[in-house]
Amino acid sequence: APYHVTQEIYVDFLPQDETPPYVDSGVWKIILAARNIKNGEYFLWLPGGKTLNPGTAFYLPRPQGTLTIPATARRVISVGAYDARQNTYADFSGRGCRALPYPKPDLVAPGVDIYAPRSGGGYASFTGTSFSTPFVTGAAALLMEWGITRRKDPYLYGEKLKAYLRRGAKALQGSEKLPNDLIGWGRLCLESSLPE
């Protein structure tokens, strides 16, 4: 994405020969050479989920900058996770970084041990940002209902809605400076997000 503000490059390792149909194992070294260096900082990510071999990892990983697309986009509401029982950040949740020209994530919502419907019927306990996002989606829908349907703010639009959610967010324990790369503006609080 050469015209994107973060200058993202996607690299895919493919075997040259189909016998064996995989990339050789071992320690790989990636050497970067640039024509024009702005600040010399770069970030690398591996695919998430179960797409990687269990032995595939970075030699010295760090958690900063683990927030990925689409959460890095400027106009989306980026949602991280926290443990609502402990009122603490969930360490599996992606983190923003200084490389983005704007703070991300925007806020966090409960994402640890969420009791939800499971496929095949019944309910189970789940953990992940996929379970944090519906809390914020529901809060956004309620804000839109309040603003547009009830005519409290008939011109409520996406950026304004995000600003309301950010304004109402509350700090987690141990989060003195907000916004930050872990929880953005804080944990979701719809009651505080409603203008007076």
Q: Does a structural domain hold residue 42?
A: no
CATH number of the structural domain spanning residue 188:
3.40.50.200
165: which residues sit within 8 A by CB, 6+ positions away? Answer: 77, 106, 107, 136, 139, 140, 143, 188, 190, 193
Q: Does a structural domain hold residue 157?
A: yes
Which pLDDT belongs to residue 60?
Answer: 80
Give the count of domains, the chain: 1
Which domain covers residue 168, as residue numbers?
Answer: 79-193
Which pLDDT belongs to residue 192?
Answer: 95
Q: Does a structural domain hold residue 35?
A: no
Residues in the chain, pLDDT under 50: none
Query: Up-side HSE of residue 121: CA atoms within 13 Å toward CB?
Result: 0
Report the C-alpha gap between 93 and 98 in whole angstroms: 17
Which pLDDT belongs to residue 127?
Answer: 95
What does the pLDDT look like over 11-28, one tens digit per residue? 877 777 766 667 777 888
CA 8 to chain centre: 17
Q: Does a structural domain hold residue 57?
A: no
Which pLDDT belongs to residue 8?
Answer: 76
What does the pLDDT look like over 60-87, one tens digit per residue? 887 787 887 788 888 899 999 999 999 9
- The separation between the first and the last C-alpha atoms of the chain, rounded to the nearest angstrom, is 42
